[in-house]
């Protein structure tokens, strides 16, 4: 019974293909080709992303003998966790982790709070020079922070407000070496990637129908109450995504950290000088000057990199649903 039905389907397909002058077969071949091409593309992209991470994981569990063993490729012969213990000690991982967590978390919260208000304002309100100010937001996205590094250094090294501080104290304030410049820049929407967050939030709110706000106004809600009770819950996906971006970029930032927080122990700063610190650490332990092999230096660097990105990966696993929703619903309407 099944065999007869199968034959009927086959005859029916070729019959319909003959009547369509081969169009049905061409369409079927095209669909199969698209599926195969999509699979190859996705597999290649996943391999390019995962292969370096898997390689670092493999190397981080190898001893120095395994690193120089031509037989060992991916699976270590002498499995060890000493590399993680050594890297954590060199990086002062506990203290650096706490400092990075506190600074990244607070900065991300400040950035997203301010950028949400500004992005919503660009999406929903008309005000003088709106296009000009939005063009300034785009410039914040396009201009790299290195271009204004000298200005930032001078501004926060000799910080003053209309000459008032100098008038009272006799000299300007030196804000370098503490976290205050981070907060001031974030509050002014000039922090790390703030222009991008404003743009993303603006695009998201522009896609929400105005009927929701109009209904809230009819019910007696003011502008602020409508924003807090209606629009913020609707914007939860994009706010979550921007928070993830802000946290991750701040977590791995080395530019602003080096400029303003050079003496503060952070993971992003520790990983930048990990190889140099390894040589100094071994010299201090052994009491003699020695040269660390390139292979072992790369092994410790790979271990430190994994310890740096592990908290970020865990954070993403908890927030991936909101992240995917915001990516699919933002940036559609210009």
Asked if 39 and 129 sit in the same domain, the reply is no
CA distance linking residue 135 with residue 8, whole number of Å: 64
Full domain range(s) for residue 104:
82-330
- For residue 72, is it within any domain? no
Asked if 42 and 181 sit in the same domain, the reply is no
What is the model's pLDDT at position 36? 93
Q: What is the mean pLDDT of residues 290-306?
A: 85
Asked if 88 and 46 sit in the same domain, the reply is no
What is the model's pLDDT at position 8? 47
Asked if 100 and 42 sit in the same domain, the reply is no
Cβ contacts of 216 within 8 Å, gap of 6 or more: 225, 226, 229, 230
Asked if 18 and 120 sit in the same domain, the reply is no
Q: What is the mean pLDDT of residues 125-129?
A: 87
- For residue 76, is it within any domain? no
Asked if 111 and 27 sit in the same domain, the reply is no
Residue-wise pLDDT for 176-197, tens only, equals 777 788 888 888 888 888 889 9
Average per-residue pLDDT for the chain: 82
Per-residue burial over 51-77, b if 16 or more Cβ lie within 10 Å, else e, is eeeeebebbbbbbbebbeeeebeeebe
Asked if 32 and 120 sit in the same domain, the reply is no
Residue-wise pLDDT for 98-122, tens only, equals 988 998 899 999 999 999 999 999 9
Asked if 193 and 88 sit in the same domain, the reply is yes
Asked if residue 200 lies in contact with residue 241, where contact means CB atoms within 8 angstroms, the answer is yes
pTM: 0.77
Q: What is the mean pLDDT of residues 215-237?
A: 83
* CA distances from residue 11 to 17, 27, 30, 85 in whole angstroms, order as listed: 10, 17, 21, 68
- For residue 277, is it within any domain? yes
Structural domains in the chain (count)? 2
Per-residue burial over 160-189, b if 16 or more Cβ lie within 10 Å, else e, is eeeeeeeeeeeebeebbeebebbbbbbeeb
Asked if 107 and 210 sit in the same domain, the reply is yes
Nearest-CA neighbor of 158 among 144, 141, 145, 175? 175
pLDDT band at 323 (very low <50, low <70, confident <90, very high): low
The secondary structure element, H or E, covering residue 100 is: helix 93-124
Asked if 214 and 282 sit in the same domain, the reply is yes
């Amino acid at each position: 019974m099944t065999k007869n039905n199968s034959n009927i389907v086959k005859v029916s397909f070729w019959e319909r293909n003959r009547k369509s002058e081969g169009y049905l077969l061409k369409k079927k071949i095209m669909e199969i080709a698209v599926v195969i091409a999509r699979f190859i593309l996705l597999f290649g992209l996943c391999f390019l992303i995962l292969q370096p991470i898997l390689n670092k994981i493999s190397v981080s569990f190898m001893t120095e003998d395994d690193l120089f063993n031509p037989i060992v490729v991916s699976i270590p012969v002498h499995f060890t966790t000493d590399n993680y213990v050594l890297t954590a000690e060199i990086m002062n991982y506990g203290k650096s982790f706490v400092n990075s967590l506190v600074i990244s978390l607070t900065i991300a919260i400040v950035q997203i709070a301010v950028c949400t208000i500004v992005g919503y304002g660009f999406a929903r309100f008309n005000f003088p020079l709106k296009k000009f100010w939005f063009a300034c937001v785009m410039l914040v996205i396009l201009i790299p922070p290195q271009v204004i590094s000298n200005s930032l250094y001078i501004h926060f090294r000799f910080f003053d407000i209309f000459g008032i501080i100098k008038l009272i104290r006799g000299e300007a304030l030196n804000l370098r070496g503490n976290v205050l410049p981070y907060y001031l820049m974030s509050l002014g929407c000039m922090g790390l990637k703030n222009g991008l967050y404003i743009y993303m939030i603006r695009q998201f709110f522009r896609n929400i129908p105005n009927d929701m706000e109009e209904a809230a106004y009819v019910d007696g809600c003011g502008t602020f109450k409508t924003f807090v009770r209606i629009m913020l819950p609707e914007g939860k996906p994009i706010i979550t995504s921007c928070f993830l971006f802000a946290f991750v970029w701040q977590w791995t930032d080395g530019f602003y950290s080096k400029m303003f927080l050079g003496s503060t122990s952070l993971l992003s700063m520790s990983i930048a000088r990990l190889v140099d610190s390894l040589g100094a650490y071994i010299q201090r332990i052994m009491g003699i000057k020695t040269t660390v092999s390139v292979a072992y230096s790369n092994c410790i660097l790979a271990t430190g990199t994994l310890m740096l990105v592990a908290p970020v990966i865990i954070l993403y696993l908890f927030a991936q649903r909101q992240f995917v929703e915001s990516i699919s619903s933002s940036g559609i309407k210009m």
